[in-house]
Amino acid sequence: MTTISFAASSARYSAWRRRAHWLTFALVVLAYLSIESRSFLERGSAARMAVVQLHYWLGIAVLLITLPRVLLRTREGTPPVTPPPGAAARLAAWTMHLALFIFLVVQPVLGIATRLVSGRGIGVPFTGWAIPSVMADRALAKAIEGVHEQLGTVFYAVIGLHIAAALWHWFKGRDNVMQRML
């Protein structure tokens, strides 16, 4: 009995990594929703400022959770998939996870950089406080923001592909890929 439950649990990502994955999923959805919803709110309004500032802190939370995840991935690897996938599928999954991890680090860093060179800083919602800028170069801030927005658009597709692959494994794959993350 003990052996069975040990085998079952060791074939999944650790509890912390599973929680971190689903929390990140929620935070990324909210980061996208908050920034996209700003266009429905009046320019200069308190509500618009609040959703934009919420966007900053959702993104900062993503970065803080991702750093230990990357460390754990390099230390522990990934739990085995049964039946074992071929070399091409392993390479595809590895490339996809690398792209997702790069996005989860680079996207918030670009966002933070945008604000820290803009002369405006990173405002904290509902408080009037802000982490101050280190310089005020509007042109540089606009350039970094441009890359941040482009990457945000590209990753709609990459995240979509990741979700589609996971759902395919769950419903059609006849393997334990999804169960390892539940």
Q: How far is CA 52 from CA 32, 56, 104, 138, in A?
A: 10, 7, 18, 18
Site for ligand HEM in 62-101 (CB under 6 A): 62, 69, 73, 78, 93, 97, 100-101
Q: Which of 54, 59, 117, 176 binds ligand HEM (CB under 6 A)?
A: 59
Minimum distance from residue 9 beta carbon to ligand HEM (Å): 16
181 binds ligand HEM (CB under 6 A): yes
What span, in angstroms and rounded, lies between the C-alpha atoms of 67 and 123?
A: 23
- Rounded alpha-carbon distances, angstroms, from residue 7 to 10, 15, 23, 89: 5, 15, 25, 24
Q: Which amino acid is at 10?
A: S
| Tokens read off for 154 | 């590209």
Footprint of ligand HEM (CB under 6 A): 13, 17, 21, 24-25, 28, 31-32, 35-36, 52, 55-56, 59-60, 62, 69, 73, 78, 93, 97, 100-101, 104, 107-108, 111-112, 114-115, 122, 145, 148-149, 152, 159, 162-163, 166, 177-178, 180-181
